[in-house]
Amino acid sequence: MLTQEYSGSDMLFVVGCPRSGTTWVQRLLASHPRIRTGQESDVFDQYIGPQLRAWEQELNPEASGRGGVGLGCYFQDADFRRLLKGYLVQLLEPMVGRLAPGELFLEKTPGHVLFIPEIHALLPRARFIHVLRDARDTVASLLGASRSWGRAWAPRQARQAAWTWVNHVQAARQAQRALSPDLFFEVRYEALHTNGPRVLRDLADWVGITWADAEISAALERNNPTAARAGQGTPIPLGGEFAGTIGPVVKEPAGFVRQARAGSWRTDLTMLDKLGVWRVARATMAEVGYAWGAPWSA
């Protein structure tokens, strides 16, 4: 049973811009016998994070123009945070409350990258794995999702998708500057394709798990794009209300795994799309190591 003192030391948060390969990294790591996982929880980006942000905003007496308003009129800061932490540990109980000694829980919600400061404030020993992918391929994947299974949430224009990428990557950059190296690790999508065994070895060493080379190779083979498209790969458990209506494991929709390779943006994006990405994202791309000249020269 979790308590108020729970620090998140046995939690790994996989974060990043949507369509950057976070599910791939989740399935790869969940292949390890010490790592448990589940479907995206949205526990911070939909539940805890907005409440903590609202509280902190209300503590500024100038925010309302009327002086202090809100729950700050009734609670001390420490008391409110204690209540919120109590709520949080109850929400986390189904994820981490039944872990055996030495096991870790991997929570993968891409949007949690926007709430790393709030997560760190309440779970100071939780660790973050940021998955970074070229903006152009990410935009191409977001646009592809918007035309099929992700039409309810994915941006439909390249500029909007590029802003999604910039906002998520800049949030990760800010978090990396604020956190110690033992709490933040970055995985490049392209490196997973070109040298997956090396990337997973470095990640396993950072996490602190023993993972034989043969087991790493097996995890990569089990979760290759062909297997993922066929609904195979490392299963992601599904519990709660949805277990009874959908089943015990996550079933991704058709089209969830697209080309799953680096550089497909060259043919996936129109010239107008490329120009939109270039205008919005080129500065951040350069900052994180994705050099790009003029889009018409690509």
From CA 79, how far away is CA 75, in angstroms rounded?
Answer: 6
Confidence class for position 48, pLDDT limits 50, 70, 90: very high
The whole-model pTM stands at 0.96
Distances (CA, A) of 157 to 28, 64, 151: 31, 35, 12
What SS3 class is residue 48?
helix
Domain presence at residue 252: no
The enclosing domain of 108 has a CATH number of 3.40.50.300
Name the residue among 29, 24, 41, 66 with its Cα closest to residue 190.
Answer: 24
Question: What is the pLDDT, as a whole number, of residue 63?
Answer: 79
Question: What is the pLDDT, as a whole number, of residue 68?
Answer: 83
Same domain for 112 and 169? Answer: no
Q: Is 213 exposed, middle or buried (0-12, 13-18, 19+ CB in 10 A)?
A: exposed
Query: Please, what is the Cα angle at 242 between 239 and 244, to 5 degrees?
Result: 90
Same domain for 57 and 114? Answer: yes
Domain boundary (246, 273, 289) is at 246
Question: What is the pLDDT, as a whole number, of residue 295?
Answer: 74
Sign of CA dihedral 186, 8, 91, 237: positive
Q: Report DSSP state, residue 249.
A: B
Domain presence at residue 253: no
Return all residues near 211 (Cβ < 8 A) that are at least 6 apart.
32, 200, 201, 204
From CA 284, how far away is CA 7, in angstroms rounded?
Answer: 32
Domain with 287, as residue range(s), is 135-179+264-298
Same domain for 109 and 73? Answer: yes
Domain presence at residue 259: no
Question: What is the pLDDT, as a whole number, of residue 297?
Answer: 63
Check: CB of residue 113 under 8 Å from CB of residue 168.
Answer: yes
Name the residue among 177, 174, 172 with its Cα closest to residue 187.
Answer: 172
Confidence class for position 238, pLDDT limits 50, 70, 90: very high
